[in-house]
Structure 1
Amino acid sequence: MSDRHLSAAELAILEALYLDGMTEDMRDIAHCLYEALVLQDERAGCAAPTGEWGQKLRAMAAQCMAQLLHLCEQKGGGQVYLPKGVAVRLSLRDREMCAKFRGDYRTLAREYGLTEVRVRQIVDTYQRERFLRRQSDLPGMDAA
C-alpha cells in the first residue's frame, strides 16, 4: 500500500462533496478516511478515474462524508485525543516484550536480540500511549 498514491483527480471526487463551512480539520479527516479506502485498491493513483473505478470512488467519497458528519455529530464540540495506535500495531514479539518489561532494557535487548535503544523505543512508546489513554479516563478529564 505504501507505493500507491491518491491522484489529484481521485481527490477531486471527494473535494466535490465538501460542504460550505467545513473547517480545515474536517477536510483533513475526510481526506484521511477517503485515502485509507482508496489506497487499498490497486487502481489507486489513476489520473482519470472513469467507469467502474469512478463510481467506486464516488461511493467511497460519499461514505467518508457520511462518516465525517456522524463523527462531528457524536464527538464535535469537545476535545478528542486520537492516539497514534502504536499498541494496536505492535507485533506479537513487541507485545510480549512490553508485558515482560520490569525496568531493565538491557535484559530484554539480549533476550530479543535487539539493541537497548530499540527496546527503549518500543517500550517507551507503548507506555506513553497507555499513560495518555489512562489520563483521558480520569474524573473531570472528559470532553463533556
Structure 2
Amino acid sequence: MMVPADSAAFERPVRYWHGTRASLKRGDALLARSVTGTPRTRALMYPGVAPPAESADWVYVTTRHKFAWMHAFYSGADGDPIVLLVEPDETLERDPEYSARMQAFRCRSAQVILVDTTPAITEEEAASGWASVDGS
C-alpha cells in the first residue's frame, strides 16, 4: 500500500478506504466525479449545515475504516453501502479540509483492491456523526 510523502512516521503499510454505494468490484478504477459525472452526495452527511469543501477533481479516501462506512451510508446514491480498500495513485495527499486526526486524503484516482460489504458500524452510528466512529 502507498504511504503519503509527508508521512515518514508510518512504519507499516497504510490501508486506504473509500465509502460508496457505487457498484464497483476488485480491479475497477475509482475516478473523480469530474471524470464520471457522478453528482455530489456529501451534503447528505451534513443536513442543515454547509459541508466541507469538496472538489469534483479528487477521489477522497481515509485510513479510518469506520469513517469510510459513515461516508458509504450517506453517499446518497442508489445501491447498498460498501467500503472499498483502494490503492491510491501517486497524487495522494492529505485532504486540507480535514484535521490530521480524521486521516482524510485525496488523490486523482485509485484502484479497487477489495470490496467490503459487511458494515463496521450501524446506520444509526453513521447518523450520529464523527463522534460515534472516532475510535476506529
What's the TM-score bracket when you normalise by the shorter of the two chains?
under 0.3
Task: Indicate the structure with greater strand content.
Answer: 2
Task: Indicate the structure with greater helix content.
Answer: 1
The structure whose Rg is larger is: 1
Relative CO higher for 1 or 2, CA cutoff 8 Å, sep ≥ 6? Answer: 2
Q: Normalising by structure 1, what TM-score?
A: 0.21
